């Protein structure tokens, strides 16, 4: 596909709009920060890879008109929203429950080495992927961006470029989050106050899930 001034303008608009959506605090931010600070920087990066794959899925869903599908079958959107809310609330409650059994500073970033590192990193990837897919607000954001920036019948090449830009923005932002939350000072602060930090993080997940369940 030839790169024209119009396509560059579209890509720039998508980059700005998706960046605004990405930096807004939400489940992906909380999940990436929590994994990076409680496990390791690599676990945070694996979660970011999962977020990138989830962004690809929602991007193609936007290409194929997922918003029109939700309008035609509102029960589908409602079901996806409730499933996502249940997932986030369950994740939050699990964090809160586990915080009452936390032992000192164990399980922090130093645990990332050893035999359990690979399975944990795979689980971090899956967690990033599922958390992204479980949030139907991502679909709404994608559909809104496509509706406001894309022509009525965009060429396939332009759609692929737009999705690539979205993935690049998501990966860049959440990689930055993972890096920031593995700085020495933050990691040390987490080890000192792990129980309460886990409880606050769990409460954030519960609040995000509850908001997702009740919003229209």
Which pLDDT score, from 0 to 100, does residue 128 have?
92
Determine how many CB atoms are found less than 10 A away from the CB of residue 68: 10
Which three-class secondary structure string do you get for 86-120?
HHHHHHHHHHHHHHCCCCCCCCCHHHHCCCCHHHH
Which pLDDT score, from 0 to 100, does residue 80 have?
73
Task: Please state, in angstroms and rounded to a whole number, the distance separating the CA atoms of residues 14 and 24.
Answer: 16
Give the side-chain half-sphere CA count within 13 A for 190. 25
Question: Which tens digits make up the pLDDT trace of 146-160?
Answer: 777 777 677 778 888
Task: Please state, in angstroms and rounded to a whole number, the distance separating the CA atoms of residues 112 and 91.
Answer: 21
| Domain layout of the chain by residue ranges | 35-214
Q: In the chain, which residues have pLDDT < 50?
A: 104-115
**CB-count burial class (<10 Å; 0-12, 13-18, 19+) for 115:** exposed
pTM: 0.76
Question: Which tens digits make up the pLDDT trace of 157-197?
Answer: 888 899 999 999 999 999 999 998 888 766 677 767 778 87
- CB 132, CB 55: distance < 8 Å: yes
Handedness of CA 55, 139, 80, 44 (dihedral sign): positive
Which pLDDT score, from 0 to 100, does residue 112 have?
41
CA distances to 41, 108, 131, 179, 183 from 188, rounded to whole Å, are 14, 9, 27, 15, 9
Which pLDDT score, from 0 to 100, does residue 91 have?
79
């Amino acid at each position: 596909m030839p790169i024209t001034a119009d396509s560059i303008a579209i890509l720039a608009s998508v980059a700005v709009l998706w960046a605004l959506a990405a930096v807004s605090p939400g489940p992906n931010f909380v999940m990436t920060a929590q994994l990076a600070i409680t496990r390791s920087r690599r676990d945070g990066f694996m979660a970011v890879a999962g977020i990138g794959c989830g962004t690809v899925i929602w991007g193609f869903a936007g290409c194929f008109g997922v918003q029109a599908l939700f309008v035609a079958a509102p029960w589908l959107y409602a079901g996806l929203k409730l499933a996502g809310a249940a997932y986030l609330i369950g994740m939050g409650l699990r964090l809160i429950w586990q915080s009452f059994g936390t032992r000192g500073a164990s399980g922090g970033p130093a645990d990332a080495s050893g035999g359990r590192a690979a399975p944990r990193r795979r689980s971090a990837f899956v967690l990033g992927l599922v958390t992204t897919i479980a949030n139907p607000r991502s679909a709404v954001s994608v559909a809104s961006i496509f509706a406001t920036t894309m022509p009525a019948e965009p060429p396939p090449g332009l759609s692929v470029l737009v999705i690539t830009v979205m993935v690049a923005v998501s990966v860049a932002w959440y990689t930055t989050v993972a890096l920031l939350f593995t700085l020495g000072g933050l990691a040390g602060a987490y080890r000192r106050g792990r129980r309460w930090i886990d409880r606050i993080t769990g409460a954030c997940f519960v609040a995000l899930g509850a908001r997702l369940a009740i919003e229209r």
